[in-house]
Structure 1
C-alpha cells in the first residue's frame, strides 16, 4: 500500500513539472502557427519579437513580467521590440520608439516613456512634446527632432508596419517566436503563461536546428 501511495505521489508531482505542463501547449490553443514564416532579423538566432504600443495599458503592465525574462535570455535568442502602428498616435509613438533606438538611447528611456504616459498622464502626441520629455531624460532635444524626421527612421517605420502586417496582428501586446508562432497574453492564459509558451517555442526551435 505504501508503494502504491508513493507511486501516486510521484505521478502527481510529474503532472506539476515544467515538462509536463509544456506538453499541454499546442498550436491552435495557446499559439497560432503562421502560414507564411517571416524572416528573422539575425539569421542563426532564435528570435522573439514583442509588438507593443506605448499607449497600451496591457503592454505597460506586461513590462514588469517581460523585462526580467528578456534580460535572462541565452545568447542564442534575440529579443526584439517592434512598435505596432495602426494610425494616428500609434504611428507617432512608434516613430518615437524607432527614433530612440536609432539614437541608441531606447534602453535608458523606454521605461520612462511608459511611466510618463501611464503614471503622469502625458500624451506625448507631437514630436515637440516628445522632444521636450526625452530632454528631461538626458537626450538632446535637437538631435531627437532631427533623427525623428530623418529618412532612415521613416524607412524603419515602414519596415515595422510591414512586419505587423506579415505577422497578421490585430492588437497588442503580441509575441512572435522565430517568425513562425504568434500568441498573446489572452490566448496564453496570462503574462507568466505567455512566457511559458515563449520558452516552449524557443526550445522547440532550438531542437529543430
Structure 2
C-alpha cells in the first residue's frame, strides 16, 4: 500500500511538473505585442533581435545564458544584435559594435569587449582607445579607425536608432521576436525565463505560417 501511495504521489508531482513546464505566456504579462509590427531584416525567417549596450551590467550577465541558446537556434531563426543608443557613451559603444560588425570581426571580439569593460575596468570611450584595444585582439588599427569614422557606419547607427524607436524600448537587454513582440529579463522573470518566452514566441510565429 505504501508503495502504491508513493507511486501515486510521484505521478501527481510529474503531472504538476509537466503542467508548470507547459504554462503559456500572455501578452501584457511576460511580453508586449507591438501595435505596429517592424519589418524583419531577412523575410522568410523568424527574427530575434537583442538590443544591448556594452556598458550594461545586465547585458553582460545575460551573455553566458544567451550565447549557448543562439548557437543552437534552428535554421529558420535569424538572430540579430542591435546596439541601443541613448546618447553619450551609449552611442560611442554602439559605433564600436557596428564598426566591428562591418569589419566582420564582431563575433571574434564581442566577448573580449564586454570583458574589457566589466572585468578590466576599461572605458573604451574614444576611437583611439578602442582601436588600441582591438589591435591587441588582432584587428587592424588603421582599418578600424577608417571604418569607425565612415559614412557607412554612421548610416547604420541612424538605422539602429530608428529601429529602437520603432521597438519602443526603454532599457536593455530587450528582445524582439519577429518585429512583433517585445520583452526583457525583468518582465520575463530572469535570464532562463527570457529565453523560454523567446522559444514560445518563435513557436507561435512558426505555427502561424
TM range (shorter): over 0.9
SS of equivalent residue, structure 2 residue 182? strand
Distance in structure 1 (CA, Å) of the matches to 2:20 and 2:44: 29
Query: Which aligned runs of 4 or more in structure 1 are off by greater than 2 angstroms?
Result: 1-12, 19-24
What pairs up with 1:1-209 in 2 under 5 angstroms?
Answer: 9-17=10-18, 20-209=20-209
SS of equivalent residue, structure 2 residue 42? coil
- TM-score, normalising length: structure 1: 0.94
For this pair of structures, how many residues does the alignment match? 208
SS of equivalent residue, structure 1 residue 49? strand
Gapped regions of structure 1 (runs ≥ 5):
none
How far the C-alpha of 1:101 sits from its partner, in A, is 0.3
Distance in structure 2 (CA, Å) of the matches to 1:7 and 1:49: 44
- TM-score, normalising length: structure 2: 0.94
Per-residue CA shift, 1:30-85, capped at 9, x if unaligned? 00000000000000000000000000000000000000000000000000000000
Distance in structure 2 (CA, Å) of the matches to 1:201 and 1:21: 15
How far the C-alpha of 1:9 sits from its partner, in A, is 4.4
